[in-house]
């Protein structure tokens, strides 16, 4: 929850151990280790900016993942022991995305199975947007 009382909800969250919630409503998880957001042209800036900043304040969070809808690409931000965040990028359907927070991996070929991408505008700064 933000200091101004606003809540943000991810597309997917993973918790290890017992889930902890902000209140008795049990709809706001406060101890995820992994959060995944699927980007679209209407949500990308918000997911990269405000939501990312809010999520980084969660002490339990180890990985924040952004999944592109426009191309086979995943960006993973990992919290380091120093508290800094390090970016790992996985691109192309042959890439294997590794989630160290939950000791798992998935091939982007599986993530994007049966997905057909729109032709990209070569002048667009972000493919497909």
User: CB–CB of 67/39 below 8 Å?
Assistant: yes
Q: Which residues contact 40 (CB under 8 A, 6 or more apart)?
A: 69
Provide the percentage of residues in the chain whose pLDDT is more than 70: 88
What does the alpha-carbon distance between residue 26 and residue 52 come to, in Å, rounded to a whole number?
22
- Work out the average pLDDT over 7-32: 86
- pLDDT value for 124: 64
What does the alpha-carbon distance between residue 94 and residue 41 come to, in Å, rounded to a whole number?
24
- pLDDT value for 37: 97
**Model pTM?**
0.86
Query: What is the pLDDT of the chain when averaged over all its residues?
Result: 89
Only one residue has tokens 């999520």, namely 55
100-110 pLDDT, tens digit per residue, is 999 999 999 99
User: Structural domains in the chain?
Assistant: 12-111 (3.90.1570.10)
What does the alpha-carbon distance between residue 123 and residue 7 come to, in Å, rounded to a whole number?
36
What does the alpha-carbon distance between residue 102 and residue 98 come to, in Å, rounded to a whole number?
9
- Work out the average pLDDT over 36-45: 94
């Amino acid at each position: 929850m933000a200091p101004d009382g606003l809540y943000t909800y991810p597309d997917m969250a993973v918790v290890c151990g017992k889930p902890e919630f902000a209140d008795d409503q049990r709809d706001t998880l406060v101890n995820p280790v992994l959060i995944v957001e699927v980007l679209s042209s209407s949500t990308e800036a918000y997911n990269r900016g405000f939501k990312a900043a809010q999520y980084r304040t969660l002490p339990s969070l180890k990985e924040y993942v952004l999944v592109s809808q426009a191309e086979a690409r995943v960006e993973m931000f990992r919290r380091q022991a120093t508290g800094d965040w390090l970016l790992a990028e996985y691109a192309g359907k042959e890439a294997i995305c590794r989630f160290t927070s939950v000791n798992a991996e998935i091939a982007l070929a599986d993530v994007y199975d049966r997905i057909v991408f729109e032709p990209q505008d070569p002048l667009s700064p972000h493919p497909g947007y």
